[in-house]
Structure 1
Amino acid sequence: MQILSTLSKIAVRIPLFLWSIIVVFPLVWMFIGAFKTNAEIFSSPWSWPQQWNLNNFVAAWSNYNIGTAFLNSLFVTILGSLLCLLFAIPTAYALERLRFKGSDVLLNTYLASMMLPSVLGWIPLFFLLLKFNMLDNLWALSLVYAVSQIPFTIFILVSFMGNVPRELEEAAAIDGMSPYGILLKIVTPLVKSGIITATILNAISFWNEYFLALILLDTKSKNTLGVAMDLLKTSARYESAWGVLFAGLCIAVIPVIIFYSIFQRHIVKGMTEGAIK
């Protein structure tokens, strides 16, 4: 039995190990290529760079607008995540706790909207923002990002708020706390895992978003990282700036990897608690 158990573990781990290599290898190759010159990339694409330097990173950051795009993406990601929480937390609490006529229909409408392809709303959204003179605006883009993730955030938070004992809210109400105080001081701290999980997933989605930024932004100085990387890809193709392209990709990917690594435990914990609910 011991041998069978060991063999079964090996049979499971070998495919996982191979899959890890398949996923990690392109990232390692990209990172090494970011420190190479174009000549080294073409002459010895699989070798280590002869000299480690940051010239490609400096060129990508300064000459190809990656630095400005990085700050723009950071702005819309942070603002969009905060706005999404500002809208979703009270809505989720109202749908879960304040039962009213049509609350189930409203909740199901939010959940059903997650099934619709977002591409269906791009053209109406463009003309709506055009009418209100909100095109080419990072604040408006942040608002669009926030609204687009409200159904998903509500879906997560409703399940967590359902686990909060009603007796805690009733005791706080007896002590004279207002409904807003109950939400902010009682319920919100108890669903912290759900809030962190939703925020992390939303932030990664906003950081990697490309199509809405391409459609709603026009000025080059307001491009987000996804759009700037697409322009850099075109430049690399015609200018042979492959090292700069690899450096730009590293600038775009490394913050996500670091962010996910720091909050990985919170994501797993939040998903597990949500699955149990």
Structure 2
Amino acid sequence: MNAQPRATRRSPGRTAGRLALRLFLIIQTIVVVYPLLWNVLASFKTNAEVMESPWRLPSGLEWRNYVHAFTQAHIGDYMLNSVIVVLISMAVLLTAAVPSAYVLGRMRFRGRGFFTNFYIAGIFVGGVYIIVPLFILMNDLQMLDNRFWLSAVYATNSLPFSIFLLTGFMKSIPHDFEEAAMIDGCGYFGTLVRIIVPMARPGIITLIVFGFFDFWNEYVMAMTFITSEEKKTIPVGLANLMQIQQYATDWGALFAGLSIVLLPTIVIYALLQRKLTAGMMLGGVKG
């Protein structure tokens, strides 16, 4: 007769610790979620409600705020510019980062350690710190006020961290698959496209999510390198909109614009958060 397993009793200190941790997480969730929820609710209020009763629920749904955000504040144009910049930046970044990480992570050659350390050192050089010489260089080369060159700057600025992230995933892939592909007649490029990229998909998805957040929310370089109103991205457009709406007293349109901008980031994270978490854990364990 099998002995019944004894019930494990939790010590009072462990129980108190778990309760304190849960309380901390609840408070942190409220601190993060409440401003977002308040912003969405304010986007459905009239200007009078925003000024007189900012903490109350809206008396009705003012959909005109969203219409004004698109028609008068031109949020749609800013979003389109940001989408174009993000797509170009992501294409340039993946084209440069994936082959570089493949070479640094899986090939043996003289100088590999130097190049690896060189890219790692680049992580600590923020784009803001070199924005003045970068502006002078782009001005001399007539690259200012161009969405493609802004995207190229974004991708270059994110390249060191992206290579550092992907190199860990490249190293975790067994060499047997690569050797089998070589025996079947695949060259280095064919092996990268057909074998390595599918197996490094978690790392690439993680890179895409991080890159999207960085490119979508970047403000300083977009404000510095883009001068035409019709080419401004979302962060710059929102900053200009906030200054304008302060004097126009159209607070509903301002909060509606903020809600529209938040929507893509929330959707992207909601759809990819499991793959993002799994990719980060996989890279941390096998990198």
Q: Same fold (TM over 0.5)?
A: yes
Q: Name the counterpart of 1:237.
A: 246
SS at match of 2:172: coil
Q: Name the counterpart of 2:138.
A: 129
Shift of 1:81: 1.0
Deviates more, 1:189-198 or 1:112-121: 112-121
Task: Encode CA deviations 1:110-138: one digit per residue, 9 max, x unaligned.
Answer: 01011123222212221222222221111
Task: Encode CA deviations 1:65-112: one digit per residue, 9 max, x unaligned.
Answer: 211001101111122112100000011111112221111101101010
**Greater gyration radius:** 2
The counterpart of 2:90, out of the listed 81, 87, 108, is 81
Task: Encode CA deviations 1:200-220: one digit per residue, 9 max, x unaligned.
Answer: 101110000001100000100
**Given that residues 138 and 222 in structure 1 are in contact (C-alpha distance below 8 angstroms), is that contact kept between their aligned partners in structure 2?**
yes
Shift of 1:3: 6.1
Q: Name the counterpart of 2:229.
A: 220
1:11 partner letter:
A
Task: Encode CA deviations 1:148-169: one digit per residue, 9 max, x unaligned.
Answer: 1111110111000001111111
Paired with 2:140 and 2:116, the residues of 1 have a C-alpha distance of 30
**Given that residues 65 and 221 in structure 1 are in contact (C-alpha distance below 8 angstroms), is that contact kept between their aligned partners in structure 2?**
no
Paired with 1:19 and 1:191, the residues of 2 have a C-alpha distance of 33
Task: Encode CA deviations 1:2-43: one digit per residue, 9 max, x unaligned.
Answer: 363543322210111011111111111110000111111112
Q: Map 1:36-47 to 2 at 5 A.
A: 36-47=45-56
Paired with 2:86 and 2:200, the residues of 1 have a C-alpha distance of 22
Listed as ranges, the gaps of 5+ residues in structure 1 are none
TM-score by length of 1: 0.97
Q: Name the counterpart of 1:48.
A: 57
Q: Name the counterpart of 2:39.
A: 30
Paired with 2:245 and 2:181, the residues of 1 have a C-alpha distance of 61
Paired with 1:153 and 1:117, the residues of 2 have a C-alpha distance of 14
TM-score by length of 2: 0.93
Task: Encode CA deviations 1:215-270: one digit per residue, 9 max, x unaligned.
Answer: 00010010000000000110122221211111111011111011101100111011
Does 1:167 pair with 2:164? no
Q: Name the counterpart of 2:6.
A: none
The counterpart of 1:199, out of the listed 202, 208, 226, is 208
SS at match of 1:2: coil
Q: Name the counterpart of 2:256.
A: 247
Does 1:65 pair with 2:74? yes
Aligned identity (percent) is: 38
Does 1:158 pair with 2:167? yes
Paired with 2:156 and 2:127, the residues of 1 have a C-alpha distance of 12
The CA RMSD over aligned residues, in Å, is 1.2
Listed as ranges, the gaps of 5+ residues in structure 2 are 1-8
1:73 partner letter:
S
SS at match of 1:135: coil
**Given that residues 46 and 62 in structure 2 are in contact (C-alpha distance below 8 angstroms), is that contact kept between their aligned partners in structure 1?**
no
**Given that residues 70 and 76 in structure 2 are in contact (C-alpha distance below 8 angstroms), is that contact kept between their aligned partners in structure 1?**
yes
